[in-house]
Structure 1
């Protein structure tokens, strides 16, 4: 049995696409016979990230991380985040000469720029060094792959996400009875999600925001006509998706957007900007309207049939995603070890 160390600074109780992706991938890898050890903030003392207390930063030492990693004895190491745990695991890998893979989940430089006056090239310099030292960096789509390649990132591997087709389905009755049409956003309520681009639109019917985050209270006060439901989970979340006529995705910084697939699996068409994420997930499926004018996209999406959206979402599975992840890990490690062997022979 292969043993995989999965390192992530993002883990439950956080609720976001990164955590969902990693937790489901762990489960599906275990179904494939892989023993997965998650090295996460669980078990460490944590402190809140300044300006974003929902994100907790682990406080630990290199020796503690070394002991944990060596006690597990991984065949493979995958580092998902560039936080304290990711940095310490990377340090151990480089010191021990152990190959590691990474994945690029979040446009970290853009997130920082949305909150602080930090030049993008400074942040990209940091994340590029972090990922390029590994054996391979997994990216979710073609647009992100090209963007990172143009910025000097190397050894890029494609890793497409999935959707839980059993949970997210069309048979669930709607949770809300609101004046229609209902335009809905689901996700973190924070500045980098660009939610106000949606809330400022002059649209008929009702706008709904499902989720929580650091900007929730301020947005409630500024947009009293919008229905804010707070976070929803499981069948309750599905019932809220089913209450929507259009799913509006205003983000300019996401690399994929799991919520896009979740909405479509529930039979809800998508309206978004024609940028990384929506371009790659929605593509030419006919399941969404992408336009630089978000209002125009939202109104156009009203004409898209829900059964088309559901059929398209069924082409994405977490089982296939986990298999692709595992193949990437194995290929990247083989390439790295082969390169080390060739270098040693040449010496």
Structure 2
């Protein structure tokens, strides 16, 4: 009988990694355990305060041994992921790994750590796994070019409680929304600079929040929203804008699409794997132009097609296919 363990350094946070593993745990029909920093003593770091860094990797190792899994998915490359990898190696346990975040690019932006150092570590960490699971085709292609092996695309889904039942009413002044971390790497200033042209709403928190509030007084900063409150906030806006250039995917984009919002973004990894140009959004170098073109798209057709492409059931099937076979 299969006993699956997910080892992740992100589970309790408001981000795509935590969302993914919480939904796998919720929807999986196979016995699945999870270990994460919240089960041990942890600390945060100044450059990324929301991240939980496990201070007790030895205890994490012992917890894995106690669970005695038959298969392990290593979700992240931090202390818990590293402890799980050592356990797999010593005990010859088959494992897959997940690549969710462009940490080399983030660490370069936030702390100027050279890319070759972090990518060298990631290659060593991932390349012995049965499969490296990534959220998008363009992310797969990027890693293949950098020398990563056995890389496979791993889809995502949208929870039902994030799809609003409210009736959409078009705004006189276009209402633009972003949902996600409020931090330097998310490139939010380029969106906030359009505050005189659109009514802009930012949902989320992060280290750049106070600076953006001070610099852009016309932007609505709502803090966190969850479940139906977040769904209704999506539905009450006209366009979802995703200005980041450093994400591997962006679950918030498919949540927005599920509520009928077209997506305006740059033509980079993540958006170009999700947005169908001219049908569900527009991509390009001019964000304002992308937003204005999105306003002309048919919201009903956007919402009706989204569930055919993305589901947590399919996400779990892909994980089990690579991990258990």
Mapped partners of 2:112, 2:48: distance in 1: 16
* Rounded Cα–Cα distance in structure 1 between residues aligned with 2:52 and 2:63: 20
In structure 2, distance between residues paired with 1:218 and 1:95: 47
For the Cα contact (< 8 Å) 2:130–2:322, is it kept in 1?
no
Q: 1:47 aligns with which of 20, 37, 43?
A: 43
Residue equivalent to 1:96: 91
SS in 1 for 2:97: strand
Give the match for residue 24 of structure 2.
25
Cα deviation for residue 116 of structure 1 reads 1.3
Question: Which whole-Å CA distance do the structure 2 matches of 1:279 and 1:178 have between them?
Answer: 27
Distance 1:43 1:86 in 2: 14
Query: What's the counterpart of residue 205 of structure 1?
Result: 198
Contact 2:278 2:297 (8 Å CA) reproduced:
no
Deviation digits for residues 122-150 of structure 1, max 9, x if unmatched? 11111111111222110112111111000
- May I ask how many residue pairs the two structures share in their alignment? 324
RMSD of the alignment, in Å?
A: 1.8
2:234 to 229, 237, 241: 241
* Unaligned runs of at least 5 residues, structure 1: 332-347
For residue 262 of structure 2, what is the aligned residue in structure 1?
269
Answer whether contact 2:133 2:151 (CA < 8 A) is retained.
Answer: yes
The answer to whether structure 1 residue 328 and structure 2 residue 306 are counterparts is no
Q: Counterpart of 1:340?
A: none
Deviations 1:2-42 (A, max 9, x none): 21110011111x1111100110011121xx2x111111012
Question: Does the 8 Å CA contact 1:202/1:295 hold for their aligned counterparts?
Answer: no
Cα deviation per residue 1:106-135 (whole Å; 9 max; x = unaligned)?
011011111011111111111111111222
Quote the residue 1:344 is aligned against: none
Shift of 1:203: 5.6
1:118 and 2:117 correspond: no
Partners of 1:160 and 1:61 in 2: CA distance: 29
C-alpha displacement at 1:197, in angstroms?
Answer: 1.6
1:205: Cα distance to partner? 3.0
Q: Which among 160, 174, 177 is matched to residue 181 of structure 1?
A: 174
Tell me which residue corresponds to 1:229. Answer: 222
Q: Specify the alignment match of 2:250 in structure 1.
A: 257
Cα distance change of structure 1 residues 177 and 159 upon mapping to structure 2, 3 Å threshold: closer
For residue 70 of structure 1, report the CA deviation from its aligned partner.
1.9
Q: SS state of the match for residue 37, structure 1? A: strand
User: 2: CA distance between counterparts of 1:57 and 1:10?
Assistant: 9
Name the SS of the counterpart of 1:54 in structure 2. strand
Q: Using the TM superposition, give the Cα deviation of residue 74 of structure 1 relative to its aligned residue in structure 2, in angstroms.
A: 0.7
Separation in structure 1 between the aligned mates of residue 61 and residue 118 of structure 2, nearest angstrom: 27
Distance 2:294 2:219 in 1: 20
Aligned to 1:3: 3
Deviation at 1:189, TM superposition (A): 0.5
The corresponding residue for 1:194 is 187
| Cα contact 1:7–1:81 (8 A) shared by 2 | yes
Tell me the TM-score normalised to structure 2 length: 0.95
CA distance in 2, matches of 1:37, 1:265: 29
TM-fit CA distance, 1:251: 0.7
Q: Which has the larger radius of gyration?
A: 1
Asked whether the equivalents of residues 104 and 137 of structure 1 are also in contact (C-alpha less than 8 Å), the reply is yes
